[in-house]
Amino acid sequence: MPAEDFEHPIAIYYDGNDVRTDVLADRLADDKIFEMCKGLELFDPTGQIRLFAREIKGRERHFHAPASKREGLRETYARERNDAHDKRVEYLLGKLKLNQRWKIVIPTYQNGERGISELFDLRGYKWGSEIHRIVGSDAVVRHDLFGQGKQIEMSILRPFVAIEVINTHYLEEGAFSALISFSKIVPLLIAFDFVARRNYFLGISKN
């Protein structure tokens, strides 16, 4: 493959209602899908790179991005992927979407008494999984789970919330450093959930 040619296994597009659709490159073997994709505005899953459906003699149809479209791109840090991890992410997202108002609390122990202390009220937050976010001039992180208030204004009392699910490995050092730096600029709470110790470090409960 020429150095200036970059193929992509998946492309995304948005319909008139801003609904995202993913298209795998192997679906381009279907003539109807190929022709449809040729007329669409396609991007890679991060939304950073403009893609095009292409057919070249002697090669399978594919999505590609010319080298000129990649100049100055941020490094994209992908999340962990395996069945146990992905099932945990799906489970947590289902829990988060059950309620329109969550509060972040931590356990306390004072004067021999156990209690809880409320840190944030996450009223009216929107939650999603596999969320790509720019966290620096040279980094994009794909969060396992991400939540933010629907209001336009920002407040230190209504932070962005990122939940990273850990099964076989931690975040890459570059991703972790970028998140720490980003949290110094905007209110961002980063929480970790460990598949091997479910509900121990992070618990989501309606009670």
pLDDT mean over 120-126: 92
At 3, is the pLDDT very low, low, confident or very high (cuts 50, 70, 90)? very low
E strands, 59-100, in order = 62-66, 75-77
CA distances from 130 to 45, 77, 84, 112, 182 (A): 10, 12, 15, 42, 18
pLDDT mean over 146-167: 92
At 185, is the pLDDT very low, low, confident or very high (cuts 50, 70, 90)? very high
At 184, is the pLDDT very low, low, confident or very high (cuts 50, 70, 90)? very high
What is the model's pLDDT at position 162? 95
What is the model's pLDDT at position 157? 92
Domain boundaries, the chain: 5-71, 77-197
pLDDT mean over 65-93: 74
Measured distance CA(96)–CA(21) in Å, rounded: 23
User: Average pLDDT of the chain?
Assistant: 86
- Model confidence, pTM: 0.70
Nearest CA to 132 among 97, 162, 169, 89?
Answer: 162
Measured distance CA(19)–CA(15) in Å, rounded: 5
